[in-house]
Structure 1
Amino acid sequence: MSHTLFLRIAASGFAALLLLAPSLGHSASFTGRVASVSDGDTITLERSLPAPLSTREVRLLSIDAPETFFVDGVPAGDQVVHGRVSRDALRSLLPRGTQVTIVTDRIQTDAFGRVLAHVYRGSLNLNAEMLRRGHAVTYVRWPNSYGRFTAHRAALQEARLGGRGMWNPSNPIDELPFEYRLRVNERTNTRYFGDFSTKTFVRPADYRRIPIEQRLSFASAAEASAAGYRLQF
């Protein structure tokens, strides 16, 4: 995430980041070329995608890479160090000019107008590859990516078992990216987290009860219940 984007988040309140814009649609596929990589889960294309998306900014869907920004006076821990490693890893996978395929999901854009997508270089799914290399963690928001959950979970588990990237036992990340954003913004979690395997969910304060690799999040208890999940007690 760029420093400019962080300032926009700070100005509008962290709740804006947690809310996805109401851009609902069916999966669509586009091609483009990479202009730049700003962090481990965000790229900019050389040309804007067609309307109604109409943007060059693409957020890799359902993964969360360590952050590269810091706030003056607030300890960053090792977040920024891991964030820069993650960014450089994605840059090595997607040099400027690389042709990519952008595949959207149910919710196509976020609150900042960025396209939420699965990004492919040829047959390589970059979302899964960043998980597999240990440079990102799964962060699935219902209803996006539900059909890809098991593949992403397997990639995350492979990285954790292999001690790769942020899971390296000699230098493990000290807090997940979303936890870092909450802390530096002095916010608490408001999402309800579900367990993909047990089809149960917990209240926001209890999210750590759900194993990282099983987590998906819902905007509300009602949304979780409508998806077929039941509340853990």
Structure 2
Amino acid sequence: MRQWAIKIVLLIMCLATRLCFGDEYTVQKVYSGNRIKTQSGVKIQYIGLDVPSEGRFFFEECKKANKELVNNKKITIEFDVKKKDDDKILLAYVYAGDVFVNAQLLKNGFAMAYIQPPNQKYADLFIALQKEARKQRRGIWAFEDPSDEPYYVGSKGSRKFHRPGCRIAKQMEFDKRVIFRTKDEALQRGFAQDWRCNPLFKKREEKKQWSNQKK
């Protein structure tokens, strides 16, 4: 009887683990700093990370950092509450061996914390890693604009924040706004910048000069 009880407990533990962790995959393609595709065709979006989209400043650097961690490697994934986005793409925390990929990218400044409930299992860790990367000016944080706007406008829905003069901020309905006094306050709450008005980083001309220096 006792052996059956032990087997039942082990079965429950196994099932509980399977609810959190997915199968092992091999990465075939890296789309960006936070999205990949496996050899079996499964697309995975990293939970808790925001990165520049293709064509924007620092996109290639973020993509390269992700590629070095996972490309052609075996990974395992961990789920949170919400397992797929609206496009049915898996939302996951990704591990390559003993490397927690989401956390490593944040630690090195190749992503920004983007906390979207209900997926906030590692919110405190991600915000702390971002704070340290920002303090040490790692990765993209080396190009942060030190100047501040009088305030910043966040969206309760998208959890992105904007400069107050941004067209999107001006058009946002008042009941959907969150006002932040500083960039620090927005980042500490897990909001990510909207790349269209770019409230965090230096002017485009300065970025262009930096890009030309690399060539």
1:206 deviates by 2.6
Cα pair 2:127 2:187 within 8 Å, conserved = no
Aligned residue in 1 for 2:57: 81
Query: SS in structure 2 opposite 1:32?
Result: strand
Quick one: distance in 1 between partners of 2:134 and 2:35? 22
Aligned residue in 1 for 2:200: none
Query: SS in structure 2 opposite 1:140?
Result: coil
Higher relative contact order structure (alpha carbons within 8 Å, sequence separation ≥ 6): 1
1:214 deviates by 2.6
Matched, 1:42 2:16: no
Quick one: distance in 1 between partners of 2:169 and 2:86? 19
Please list the CA deviations of residues 163-210 of structure 1 after superposition, one character each: whole Å capped at 9, or x if unmatched. 011110xx2379xx9569xxx9x755999xxxxxxxxxx964335343
Find the partner of 2:134 among 155, 160, 184.
160
Please list the CA deviations of residues 66-124 of structure 1 after superposition, one character each: whole Å capped at 9, or x if unmatched. 1114xxxxxxxxxx1311110111111122x2000111111000011110000001121
Cα pair 2:127 2:190 within 8 Å, conserved = no
Please list the CA deviations of residues 148-174 of structure 1 after superposition, one character each: whole Å capped at 9, or x if unmatched. 122111211111011011110xx2379
Quick one: distance in 2 between partners of 1:126 and 1:190? 36
Cα pair 1:66 1:135 within 8 Å, conserved = no
Quick one: distance in 2 between partners of 1:143 and 1:190? 27
Quick one: distance in 2 between partners of 1:36 and 1:59? 12
Quick one: distance in 2 between partners of 1:124 and 1:60? 14
Pairing of 1:218-229 with structure 2 (within 5 A) = none
Find the partner of 1:66 among 27, 52, 56.
52
Find the partner of 1:100 among 51, 68, 75.
75
1:29 deviates by 2.4
Query: SS in structure 2 opposite 1:30?
Result: strand
Cα pair 2:161 2:186 within 8 Å, conserved = no
Query: SS in structure 1 opposite 2:81?
Result: strand
Pairing of 1:83-162 with structure 2 (within 5 A) = 83-95=59-71, 97-145=72-120, 147-162=121-136
Quick one: distance in 2 between partners of 1:122 and 1:190? 45
**CA root-mean-square deviation:** 3.3
Quick one: distance in 2 between partners of 1:26 and 1:143? 16
Find the partner of 1:172 among 144, 147, 155.
144
Question: Structure 1 vs Structure 2: percent identity of aligned residues?
Answer: 21
Pairing of 1:20-31 with structure 2 (within 5 A) = 26-31=19-24
1:26 deviates by 4.8
Cα pair 1:26 1:106 within 8 Å, conserved = no
Quick one: distance in 2 between partners of 1:85 and 1:187? 27
Cα pair 2:110 2:139 within 8 Å, conserved = yes
Cα pair 2:108 2:133 within 8 Å, conserved = yes
Please list the CA deviations of residues 31-85 of structure 1 after superposition, one character each: whole Å capped at 9, or x if unmatched. 100001110000001114xxxxxxx10000011111114xxxxxxxxxx131111
Cα pair 1:189 1:205 within 8 Å, conserved = no
